[in-house]
Structure 1
Amino acid sequence: MKVMIQHNSMVPIYEQLVNQIKSLILEGSLQENASLPSVRVLAKEIKASALTVKKAYDLLEQEGFIATVHGKGSFVLAVNRHAKRENLLYSTQAELEQVIKKARQAGISITELADLVAVILEEE
């Protein structure tokens, strides 16, 4: 499993983990019943606390993306892709609202913001 953590980001590490693992599950890179790295292994890999990874796994479990079996590890659950996509769409909208608010505070016009989004999308 490949996750990229930005340690200098304002987004907490556990939240970055949750978002990336959700995306991997929803896009099909992580299939149903796939095992996730152990908390300790992933913590070492991303250079973070085991408690941070545990918090991310707990949140993923609460949201129905994974299940943890004591002594065996954490595994990807079958997901209702439509419902999960709606959930991600809602959170994306909330994040975009924050970006728009910051842009307005910075005096960035709608045209400039749209151009910036277009440039970012082209880079992907």
Structure 2
Amino acid sequence: MRIIIRNTSGKPIYEQIKEQIKEAILSDELNEGDMLPSIRQLASELKISVVTTTRAYSDLEQEGFIVNIQGKGCFVSPKDNELVREQLFRKIEDGFAAAINAAKIAKLPEKELLQILKSMLEGNPYE
């Protein structure tokens, strides 16, 4: 797993770390039981504060993505299908919101927007 920090993203660093680890878990790049780098190791690799990595890991643990076993480290939690479904649902909503905003700016009629969606669902995005 590779984490890339972008100073120009406008998002706090801990949020960028959290999102990238979540994405790795949801995409099966990281699987149940996989060990994450230690908080200190990740902070050192990314050249950031231990406080920042601690915040990212703490948030991930609160959201149920990882578990911290005292003295052993942080591991990917078993996937809760409802949790995965909720995260993917949120991602879909965000994508739709961005598409709708772009359609409004382009003054694209609802009918055309729905046709684009239908074409994409059928696997023909350029028809």
- If the length of structure 1 is used for normalisation, what is the TM-score? 0.73
In the TM superposition, structure 1's runs of 4+ consecutive aligned residues that sit over 6 Å from their partners are none
- Alignment match, 2:36: 36
- Alignment match, 2:118: none
- Alignment match, 1:56: 56
Aligned residue among 84, 88, 109 for 2:106: 109
Q: Residues 94 and 80 from structure 1, CA distance in 2 versus in 1: closer, same or farther, beyond 3 angstroms?
A: same
Deviates more, 1:79-88 or 1:13-22: 79-88
Deviates more, 1:53-62 or 1:81-90: 81-90
Equivalent pairs counted in the alignment come to 112
| Aligned pairs (5 A) from 1:79-94 | 79-90=79-90, 93-94=93-94
- Alignment match, 1:122: none
Residue 47 of structure 1 aligns to which amino acid in structure 2? K
Distance 1:88 1:44 in 2: 31
Contact 1:26 1:85 in 2 (8 A): no
**Structure 1 stretches of 5 or more lacking a match?**
115-124
**Structure 2 stretches of 5 or more lacking a match?**
114-127
Residue 109 of structure 1 aligns to which amino acid in structure 2? A
Residue 106 of structure 2 aligns to which amino acid in structure 1? S
- Structure with greater contact order relative to length (CA < 8 Å, sep ≥ 6): 1
Q: Residues 108 and 28 from structure 1, CA distance in 2 versus in 1: closer, same or farther, beyond 3 angstroms?
A: same
- Alignment match, 1:121: none
SS in 2 for 1:14: helix
SS in 1 for 2:67: strand
- Alignment match, 1:21: 21
Q: If you compute each CA radius of gyration, which structure gives the higher value, 1 or 2?
A: 2
- Alignment match, 1:67: 67
SS in 2 for 1:23: helix
Instruction: Measure how far apart 1:95 and its partner are.
Output: 7.2
RMSD (Å), alpha carbons = 2.8
SS in 2 for 1:67: strand
